């Protein structure tokens, strides 16, 4: 599949781009700054077919992942609404603030970044996913097992199934339905708890759902 990544030069976008390319997808890594995107795409050349482009060009892809910082989220999506119409848009933005006590969830008027995206993109099918995966693990090609589950949130069964299938690009990870879009805020915010876990236990944590013996990991290590 041809996958565009808005904000593809940030840690999460870059890490997902690497894994999608390693899985054989064609990746259009987008950035505000196309020359910066080209530079990062070159750094990912060993992973597979990755091109660095402007965000507007990445938005032309078949499926588009939104991985920009929350500050620029609404403005960017507003500017690309026409290009994104009719597509599945995967939002993995975590609206977090940071202070002396660490990260905390920001108040989002729409409830969550994913709901904000759906409001701005009424012609697109927004799915929330990839919020809690360690960017560090994604972007390290020596990591062959990315533990944990990817909670996939949305309203449309076909789009959810498509994104659950996309999780197979992360070896060891499993895509699971995690609820409707109105439950996305919790999954976005959970990243703050995982950062607290990381600090206390010196690790790169993720989440898994227990009690699902019959739902296999997307791809065993």
What is the per-residue binding string for a copy of itself in 110-139, x denoting contact by CB under 8 A?
------------------------x-----
Total number of residues that touch a copy of itself (CB under 8 A): 39
The answer for residues whose C-beta is within 8 angstroms of residue 38's C-beta and 6 or more apart is 51, 52, 53
Among residues 148, 169, 217, 218, the one that binds a copy of itself under rule CB under 8 A: 148
Is 39 a binder of a copy of itself (CB under 8 A)?
A: no
Is 179 a binder of a copy of itself (CB under 8 A)?
A: yes
What 3 state SS string does 110-154 have?
A: CCCHHHHHHHHCCCCEEEECCCCCCHHHHCCCCCCCCCCEEEEEC
Among residues 8, 15, 95, 206, the one that binds a copy of itself under rule CB under 8 A: 206
- Classify each residue of 155-170 as buried b or exposed e, where b means 16 or more C-beta atoms within 10 Å of its C-beta: eeeebbebbbebbebb
Is 101 a binder of a copy of itself (CB under 8 A)?
A: yes
Is 70 a binder of a copy of itself (CB under 8 A)?
A: no
What's the CA gap between 123 and 22, in Å, rounded? Answer: 30
CA angle 195, 88, 104 (to 5 degrees): 20
Q: Which residues bind a copy of itself (CB under 8 A)?
A: 101-102, 104-105, 134, 147-148, 151, 176-180, 182-183, 185-187, 189-190, 192-194, 196-197, 200-201, 203-212, 214-215
């Amino acid at each position: 599949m041809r996958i565009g990544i808005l904000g593809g030069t940030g840690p999460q976008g870059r890490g997902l781009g690497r894994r999608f390319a390693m899985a054989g997808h064609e990746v259009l890594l987008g950035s505000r700054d196309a020359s910066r995107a080209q530079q990062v795409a070159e750094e990912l050349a060993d992973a597979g077919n990755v091109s660095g482009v402007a965000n507007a060009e990445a938005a032309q892809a078949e499926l588009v992942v939104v991985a920009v910082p929350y500050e620029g989220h609404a403005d960017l999506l507003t500017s690309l609404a026409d290009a994104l119409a009719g597509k599945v848009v995967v939002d993995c933005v975590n609206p977090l603030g940071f202070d002396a006590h660490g990260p905390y969830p920001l108040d989002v008027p729409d409830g969550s970044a994913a709901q904000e995206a759906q409001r701005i993109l009424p012609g697109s099918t927004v799915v929330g996913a990839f919020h809690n995966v360690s960017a560090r693990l994604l972007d390290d090609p020596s990591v062959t097992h990315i533990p944990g589950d990817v909670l996939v949130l949305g309203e449309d069964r076909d789009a959810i199934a498509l994104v659950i299938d996309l999780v197979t690009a992360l070896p060891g990870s499993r895509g699971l339905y995690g609820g409707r879009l109105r439950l996305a805020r919790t999954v976005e915010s959970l990243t703050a708890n995982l950062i607290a876990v990381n600090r206390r236990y010196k690790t790169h944590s993720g989440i898994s759902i227990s009690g699902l013996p019959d739902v296999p990991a997307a791809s065993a290590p």
